[in-house]
Structure 1
């Protein structure tokens, strides 16, 4: 297993007593479509960890692979002007989460930033999320996601 994925597996076990069974796909799972194809699931079952800047705050939006973040709805959720919402850059993602773009898991972040989650996940028995690298994923349930990430479930999606 990639050392970064092992670090994630160890951290989630220690922090949450959750055993993440990490699967590696050398061809990569950088996009939701790539991940779904590699796993053999619906693209909607992929948890994308989208890191956004909302005003002066970093926010993690756990989005179904079938959906996109609506920046206007996200701005309204935080009562800020839509012009102040943007995707975080690579260094902001790493600083806020401890992980690099493409491998950000839905939990085990280095800072305590707000986490929002897509209500779409509740319609599936299992979902899949990044496990620290762009080539690794782990399986979880919507209940696991709630326990691990404690997100606000809101509709801020197109």
Structure 2
């Protein structure tokens, strides 16, 4: 059986960016942190959720914002909006997510998007030796470390809750 094209694309970008983790393709979707943690046998907090938001700039223009947060956290959008200097931070529609990441909700990876996305990383993830994140498809995840994820994404570290 051949690999889904979004996973193949992710695999190539992971290698290109120096990622050393392994990609695991599961038989079923792991579109929540709890399902992903159960699938690989780790704490929910060690799952790096890739959450796409619509960032509303002060001039009214919408821009995609990717927040990589611990599966054990909720994003405080009011706090993050102030921290990153936006007028607002709103939930993205599935169409907005797909347009800006090339991936579907539940499978959005921290990398491998058509264009660079303003990305922020929850420093709470630093406490885990191994972090797991989506690999471009709802049934695919990959392992990484905090420092590797920071380097591959070029993210800015911010407290999200």
TM-score (norm: length of structure 1): 0.91
Aligned pair count reads 154
CA distance in structure 1 between the partners assigned to 2:103 and 2:142 by the alignment: 15
Instruction: Give 3-state SS (helix, strand or coil) of 1:116's partner.
Output: strand
Which residue of the partner structure matches residue 4 of structure 1?
Answer: 6
Which residue of the partner structure matches residue 139 of structure 1?
Answer: 143
Which residue of the partner structure matches residue 76 of structure 2?
Answer: 70
**Are residue 110 (structure 1) and residue 114 (structure 2) matched?**
yes
Q: Where does structure 1 lack aligned partners over 5 or more consecutive residues?
A: none
Deviations 1:120-156 (A, max 9, x none): 1110110001011110101001111011111111012
Q: Which moved more, 1:93-102 or 1:18-27?
A: 18-27
Deviations 1:64-89 (A, max 9, x none): 000011110121023334xx321111
Deviations 1:44-67 (A, max 9, x none): 000100000121221000010000
Instruction: Give 3-state SS (helix, strand or coil) of 1:30's partner.
Output: coil
**Are residue 79 (structure 1) and residue 80 (structure 2) matched?**
no
What do you get for the CA RMSD once the two structures are aligned? 1.4
**Contact 2:47–2:132, Cα closer than 8 Å, also in 1:** yes
Which residue of the partner structure matches residue 55 of structure 2?
Answer: 54
TM-score (norm: length of structure 2): 0.89
**Contact 1:46–1:128, Cα closer than 8 Å, also in 2:** yes
